[in-house]
Amino acid sequence: MDYNRGNLFAKRLYKYMRMRDLTLNRVAKLSGLTASTLNNIINRSSSSRVDTIYRVCNGLHTSVRDFFDFPPYNEVEE
């Protein structure tokens, strides 16, 4: 399956938001970030830094490993 890797963080974040009935503002608050930071990442005007990803995962009470445990991240390329 062909995925646009640059948009995977946003897609995964929205999935967690839907599953937990959270808004972007709430995720930002739980993560100790501003909503504009998450908006910039989602709208691709900036890239997600490792520390930002860690903070979002921490705010969602999930590990980075679990957050990215989905195709294509867990598929082995041949």
Residue 9 has pLDDT above 90, yes or no: no
Average pLDDT over residues 31-38: 93
CA dist list (Å): 36 to 3, 11, 29, 50, 74: 25, 17, 11, 17, 30
Give 73's contacts (C-beta < 8 A, 6+ positions apart): 8
More confident site: 45 or 23 = 23
Each domain of the chain, given as residue ranges in start order, spans 21-78
What does CATH list as the number for 21-78?
A: 1.10.260.40
Calculate the average pLDDT of the chain. 83
